[in-house]
A and B are shown apart, each in its own frame.
Chain A
């Protein structure tokens, strides 16, 4: 188990990453907050041996993805309006607000890979581990997400 100080350091470092993934999967801030809380609580109570900070981050995101899957089965889960959410956020430019809405309009399975690949910087194989899907599926989802977001994403790409 972690000391209070070590847990606090890790939790502060990774809580936003967990929230972003949870929000991308649930589209509900309250549910995303719950997922963050549950994931961090499990980290606090865990007696698992971690091989460094990156291992903790990967573990937290796997836990978060699993928590979101359980939420989907819950009748209390409801996605909220993206416009309502976006209106509460401050973007550097209107363009990024539009891109945010476009990403959140994607199906959940596409949103998650976009967040993990582009924002969190994970490789295909690592995303496959977190989301518990085959690597080929991750590649397919990234390609389809990019196709939908083609008005915003302009680079030529090759997913390994």
Chain B
């Protein structure tokens, strides 16, 4: 008998419950009263309660969301529970402790091209009137530097049109110098660092790659102080390594859409929090310090456009959702004499459903009030 046959016989008696599938169907198909049977314990969630307290009640049955991630991705309380059910969110159990301070990975939102991670820091003493500051940081993907990573300590300050407020809606306090006072330290003394980085130029799929985040030291600084005011109070390095889990959902379109200035949009790749555009560019030459195409149209920069809107099938228009990213190739002072391919990668500051994308709207030129002079709409076929 082979080893495989032996192990099959040893494990064969392990079976799921005969009623497992039926129970799932009943749970999924019940619309008014939702009953979740968990190994003999029954949790009843009434539809009325869910409607009244949908954010609070459902959030209470899920691990809590990092406020920084929720803010970065503009996720409403009502959307939290639905996102927990997707592959986009993970909580890898990784942590590191040095000098009495522990940094653990609290939550990660990852898709093919972008990762947004919240770190929880425990054990750093932050005196009144001071804020925590991270030292040198590094993010690698499979050992190579990630694209344009950013770190920020979550400060609970929301910059609204009406003014600056805390997440509970109360107006933010200011110190004597007019600096808004952050509420970075949680009740338990911990604080949050949010890390965002892209891997778009490194890999076509971030999920499954080995990610490492390194923080070399931590310290404190006065609120409104300068980098010279930082005092390092804990030495690391803290190193968190895990294999990225996330959403592999991606929607791709192959196009041949002439736009402007001789540029053609040749491809679109859209994930829940990432966008990639591929263009065919005309030859460019340097004329008196400005790149120009064959028609003499000036490219002030290699991206002579703004991506103005993402339009969804239900008519929702997202503006200002394209955050950081990169573009290439690099062009030297002489320009490029032949047509070339240009890739434009961006992370999104919203979670979208790629299957519901309907169109992209580009803006070019200088119009009134700083807006583009012209707009080009590219329909994304079903």
A residues near B (Cβ < 8 Å) are: 4, 7-8, 11-12, 15-16, 18-20, 23, 29-34, 36-37, 40-42, 44-45, 47-48, 63, 66, 69-70, 72-73, 89-93, 95-97, 99-100, 103, 114-115, 118-119, 121, 129, 132-134, 152-155, 157
Contacts and interface: CB of A to CB of B under 8 A. Distances in A.
Contact of A119 (B8, B17, B25): B8
Contacts of B16: 15-16, 18-19, 32-33, 36
B96 interface: no
B91 A41 contact: no
A118 B9 contact: no
A115 B4 CA distance: 10
B6 A152 contact: yes
Interface residues of B, number: 40
A37 B85 CA distance: 13
Contact of B20 (A37, A114, A132): A37
A34 B17 CA distance: 10
Contact of B14 (A20, A30, A99, A154): A20
A134 B210 contact: yes
A143 to B, nearest CB: 13
B301 interface: no
B10 interface: yes
Nearest to A43: B24
| Main DSSP-derived SS at the A contact region | helix
A41 to B, nearest CB: 5
Chain B CB within 10 Å, residue with most, of A11, A114, A118, A157: A118
B27 A33 contact: no
A89 B13 CA distance: 6
B357 to A, nearest CB: 14
15 contacts: A18-B16, A23-B14, A30-B38, A36-B16, A37-B20, A37-B38, A42-B85, A44-B24, A45-B28, A95-B6, A100-B13, A103-B11, A152-B3, A152-B6, A157-B3
Contacts of B3: 118, 152-155, 157
Contacts of B17: 33, 36
A121 B5 CA distance: 11
B40 interface: yes
Contact of B10 (A36, A103, A155): A103
B2 interface: yes
A91 B9 contact: yes
A153 B6 CA distance: 8
Interface string B33-58: 00001111000000000000000000
Contact of A40 (B6, B20, B210): B20
A66 B25 contact: no
Contacts of A70: 63, 91
Nearest to A118: B7
A119 B7 contact: yes
Contact of A11 (B13, B24, B355): B24
A115 B11 contact: yes
Nearest to B207: A132
B208 interface: yes
Max chain B C-beta neighbours (<10 A), residue from A19, A31, A157: A19
